[in-house]
Amino acid sequence: MGMTPSFFACFLLLTMFLSLSYEAITPTSPLSIGQTLSSSNGVYELGFFSPNNSQNQYVGIWLKDPVRRVVVWVANRESPVTDSTANLTISTNGSLLLYNGKHGVVWSTGENFASNEYSATLSDDGNLMVILDNVSRRIIWQSIDHLGDTMLPFSTLTYNLTTGEKRVLTSWKSYTDPSPGDFVGEVTPQVPPLCEARRRIGEAVHGLKQDRNSKPPRITTTSEGSLKIFHHNGTDWAVDYEAPLANSCDFYDVCGPFGLCVMSPSPKCKCFKGFVPKYTEEWKRGNWTGGCVRRTVLDCQGSSTGKAADVFHALANIKPPDFYIFSDTLDAEDCYQSCLQNCSCLAFAYINGIGCLEWNQDLMDAVQFSVGGETLSIRLAHSEFGGNKRKKTIVATSVSLTVFVILGFAAFGFWRCRVKHIAHISKDAWNNDLKQQDVPGLDFFEMNTILTATNNYSPSNKLGQGGFGSVYKGKLQDGKEIAVKRLSSSSGQGKEEFMNEIVLISKLQHRNLVRVLGCCIEGEEKLLIYEFMVNKSLNTFIFDSRKRLEIDWPKRFDIIQGIARGLLYLHRDSRLRVIHRDLKVSNCYAEILSV
């Protein structure tokens, strides 16, 4: 019998739909990437997802929403799969297994039961359940017992006081990384319980009330450490409640052990009286998690009232710290006596309507309000109260020393400013004097020009050293090479001598004398700039066994004549008679003497 085209198309669409949406997972019908398992009411869906559109795939449960997918539970939080053939199935012993293709099992429920009929379904409450058989419908494993970062209606946080087992919320590491983050939500074993947010060391949270919206409300522990209650307003998710807010004392133990968080628009931490920061530098930088330590060790003597006996310091408007225990006492006085006689008792508080609370370990998560709260009494060494007079003396001494040091620095600063001012005036006068002199053909160079030319007086540019100072080779921006004579401050040459040398040298112009190009004066620096002699001085030739061969006797005779002409000019022919008293080969340059 033939099949009509319309019937075939309907059959094909029905087949595709069944291949994408499952009613249950069985040993013979695993869940693969691209397939989903839906709850009967169409609110929840189980399948593979990638939170950051990467190759990492996770098995999770989410609220079906065409606008934005909201993941409420993740199976393989720490073990993403990357193989396209990954699948979720049930073993023959009733354990859910997540295979990463050919790479084996990366996550499982670990349950083992003796039966051959198992299935996994998704309830209308968003609970993934492994059922033993279709007759007894016995649940052997369920996701609601292994919470992630989200709490749904009918899910609970528990703490077994006998075994210590607990069911907690654990935040994602980030909005795109489902692996366990830094924060948890958990029920504390204290009575009465607390409702706080803390960094993965235990937590109490509010319960979630069921409403009748089409999409159920949820509580989520965020990667920033907040607990948020969401409800769906018909178009999107809205936050009903959030705690703690950013920069809030509601963050658990924000000030560390024996630290007190002062509630204000900008919360700040301080140590209890008698305590000091454990890590001072970190505390100053605003990292208070290290908390505080005692300044003076306790000297508990039970009910003793002697001078060395411990005392209690009362603080008002305090939110009681964590980890207290009840003491069966009648009134506030009995509460005080009970703590005083117990050396392990570090603090106590008597609260009307509740009774006596005592602390025998570090005070954690204490907060001080501007109004309200309770009175907390902390055990301190007696010396913390008896040292007021001594402290005043120390303070007075410290203030006096501080004032003396400040005055000393002020006097030193005034003296330095005066010296610099005098030096500045002297420098200006020096420059003015030089400019007023008749120095024809002499250039005044800027210090930056000289520093650039000599590469900041690089040792590789040093040509020589003498009693007057050092000589450096330099190269100006136009490519011209120069020699810079940097006078030493220990040369003994003062302002007048330097000015006389500049004026004198500027008037000495001869072909057998090295020509001066200019000078530079800045601060204590006094520089003379000469033309650069490429062949250097005679000593590099005469005392070198190889180079001495380059100057034969006719050349040497020319050099001798050049020296004689230069001395003759200095001694007789120049406008100023100059007696050269330091004639040596290191002061003679071959290239100008042979001219």
- Say if CB 237 and CB 70 are below 8 A apart: yes
H-run or E-run covering 131? strand 128-131
Q: What is the DSSP letter of 470?
A: E
Tell me whether strands 177-185 and 169-174 are parallel, antiparallel or unpaired.
antiparallel
> What pLDDT does residue 354 have?
86
- DSSP one-letter string for 59-90: EEEEE--SS--EEEEES-TT--B--TT-EEEE
Residue found by looking up tokens 């075939």 in the block: 8
Question: What's the Cα-to-Cα distance from 212 to each of 41, 51, 184, 217, 232, rounded to whole Å?
Answer: 14, 29, 28, 9, 11
How many Cα atoms sit within 13 Å of 551 on the Cβ side?
23
> What pLDDT does residue 314 have?
92
Q: Is domain 17-243 classified as CATH 1.10.3720.10?
A: no
Q: Is the pTM for the entire model greater than 0.75?
A: no
| Rounded Cα distance, 94 and 116, in Å | 8
Residue found by looking up tokens 């003379």 in the block: 528
Residue found by looking up tokens 């060790």 in the block: 297
Residue closest to 263 by CA, chosen among 377, 370, 420? 370
| Rounded Cα distance, 350 and 348, in Å | 7
| Rounded Cα distance, 244 and 519, in Å | 72
Residue found by looking up tokens 């002020």 in the block: 410
Instruction: List the beta strands (DSSP E) in 335-480.
Output: 347-351, 355-359, 366-368, 374-380, 443-444, 462-465, 469-475
Residue closest to 338 by CA, chosen among 323, 322, 321, 326? 326
Give the residue extent of every domain in the chain. Answer: 17-243, 259-385, 534-595
> What pLDDT does residue 387 have?
53
- Say if CB 96 and CB 105 are below 8 A apart: no
Residue closest to 118 by CA, chosen among 137, 142, 143, 98? 137
CA angle 103, 109, 113 (to 5 degrees): 115
Query: Percent helix, strand, coil in the chain (nearest 5)?
Result: 25, 30, 45
Q: Judge whether 485 is annotated as a binding position.
A: yes
Catalytic residue positions, numbered? 582
CA angle 173, 178, 181 (to 5 degrees): 25
Residue closest to 260 by CA, chosen among 246, 240, 247, 275? 275
| Rounded Cα distance, 178 and 298, in Å | 47
| Rounded Cα distance, 208 and 193, in Å | 16
The token pair at 521 is: 């004066």
Per-residue pLDDT of the chain (595 residues; tens, 9 = 90+): 444 444 333 333 333 333 355 678 988 899 999 999 999 888 999 999 998 888 899 999 999 887 788 999 999 999 999 999 999 999 888 889 999 988 899 999 887 776 667 889 999 999 999 988 766 778 889 999 999 999 998 888 888 878 878 888 999 988 889 999 888 888 776 655 554 445 443 333 434 555 554 688 999 988 877 888 988 888 888 888 877 655 567 777 788 999 999 887 676 889 999 999 999 888 888 888 889 999 988 887 655 555 567 889 999 999 889 888 888 777 889 999 999 888 899 999 998 888 899 999 999 989 988 888 899 999 998 888 765 555 666 777 888 888 888 888 888 888 877 776 665 555 555 555 555 455 666 778 888 999 999 999 898 988 887 767 788 999 998 988 998 888 876 655 666 667 677 777 777 777 778 788 888 888 778 888 888 887 777 777 777 778 777 778 888 888 888 888 888 878 887 777 777 777 777 777 665 545 4
